[in-house]
Chains A and B, each alone.
Chain A
Amino acid sequence: MSKLIWDRGRAGRRGFRVAKPQTPEVDLVAYLGNEHSQELLDLPEVSELDVVRHYTSLSHKNFSVDNNFYPLGSCTMKYNPKVNDAASQMSEFREVHPLAVDALQGSLEVMHITQEYLSKISGMDAVSLQPLAGAHGELTGLMIIQAYHRDRGSERDEVIVPDSAHGTNPASAAMCGFKVIEVKSKDGMVDIEELRQKVSDKTAALMITNPNTLGLFEKNICEIEKIVHDAGGLIYYDGANLNALMGIVRPGDMGVDVMHFNLHKTFSTPHGGGGPGSGPVGVKKHLEPYLPRPVVVKGEDGFKLDFDRPKSIGKVASFYGNFGVVLRAFVYMTVLGKCGLRKASELAVLNANYLKALLEDVLDVPYSEGTMHEFVATSKDTDLTALEIAKSLLDYGYHAPTVYFPLIVHEALMIEPTETESPETLEEFAETLKEILKNPERSKSAPHLMPIKRADEVKAARHPVLTRSQIAE
């Protein structure tokens, strides 16, 4: 068993020396009285080298984009350029306190330019960088929609969500107090007839992902837009799949009223083992008054934070967004520019179509016409489940695709290669998949070569052990 960091230590061992006190000691026992605690916390007591060895060893037990092809559908695991990291480490930005507003001109300028860039890429009129992740952007966007309708004295309380949507869509709508109305898919697209029946004077918005989670462009987008707008609803666009569209088509031109971006998908910022991400929100003019406060604006004497927004939904986070992430995305867009962004999307779509073609003999893709940046295959006609294929790939050094999503495809394998992979990588991956499918017996118990074999998830959920102290119990 790999040791926990506590197990590497000895009482009295230290990993970091705090500077010797230079100012008079406050007698906390006397000063704080009952609120004071003398109890020493049960935390690791380790040397710096203990810590370095421990976390370096853990890092070796982790797949990552820098080490492995990571065709995880819906997650856009593209390469994270190193210049972005270099930028985020610049002390000019890194050491500034967000409430030292007189020291922030440079950071505000980065935010303002990033807002403009995102606005140009999306065709939206205004952007707020405050939301801290994609789902947070969704929630913010829905709050904006709610505020807009409330402002017009309307009681619209339903949000329509396609059955192919990410789980965050219905969850965000419910969190915001909306009733979630599901609309089914037909031939992999939003069923127009059903949509027509489900819109009403209660419809606050439709949440749409385009390309949708099958990787297909909703080609009836213009009609969808008309149906929802005619009913008085708004269109919310989930930007999770924007990587297919940069420089090709803009959500703002498709009739979208409000959307979020995932800087950690489309704009190459790293996923950090689950975060931090960044989920800026873009809106059309009519929704601009409702954006979270403050808004970064350009004034005559520099950039400033505009708090005077009477119709704003308020603040959704402590400060102005995950600035360190925004900074990385800013550098990415600056380096790529117009041609680079478009090329990234073109090659993301080319790579997905190429990989789909390489696999066409062995894996069925139920909704195949018009694949954009990703596709959803099914393993139901093979000898293996999607899970078994996923686990087998790990043994070959490939991260697994997204499995069992979207829910409308059985035994789904959602594959998104991204533009940063070479055709050779895709060819080798396809060969490996064929190899796995040819030897189903070995694959059923995979993985064999990882630090652990398959983990007992049922036991983990039935008898939760969530901390070190619960191990002993």
Chain B
Amino acid sequence: MNGFDWSAARDALPLVLEGFEVTLLATVLGTLVAAVLGLAIAIAGRAPSRFVTVPVRVVMEFIRSTPLLVQLVGAAALFTFVEPLTIGIVVLGIHYSTYTSEVYRAGIDGVPKGQWEACRALSLSPRRTWQAVILPQAVRNVLPALGNYAISMFKETPFLAVITVQEMVFEARKYGADHFAYTEAFTLAGLVFLVASYPTSLLMRKLEKRLGH
């Protein structure tokens, strides 16, 4: 029993913040993958043929219902020749795209039917229908939800430490092991999460209100 050692916490801070940069990088790139892939999946889900929509739904459901950690560890064990950070970003992105695709789907469903009919009446091509009419309206509706998933993903980035990505928790754990100061290192990492995610979530709530949800 040795209480909380403030000087150890001070020592650990630079390392933890260094790891935080990697955490942020993974979150931002992972969110990008999830945002783009999710949209592609949502559009594929509306394809006219069942040979497209059913397999897409099954795969999505499978990825969504199984643990991210197992997916990460499995991917890292199979693709040993790829850098861990890349695997982490891709797996995070794919896992979250199964959530974001539902968000987009809801957003697309929320575009009034009259808009689709108007596009047909104007005989716009499918490409132009999506690009100029449907997506601009749908994406506006889904922004807050996407932001909330980014925050969720941020809080799940510690999973990347398991596949040896040197992000914040990896650094905290290493510092803890080297100096036998797990208490200080993990407390610090937890506080960084809290300090970073709480204001962002307040911001999302504000955005949501402004967009009139």
Real complex partners, A and B?
Answer: no
Q: Which B positions have Cβ atoms within 8 angstroms of A?
A: none
Q: Which A positions have Cβ atoms within 8 angstroms of B?
A: none
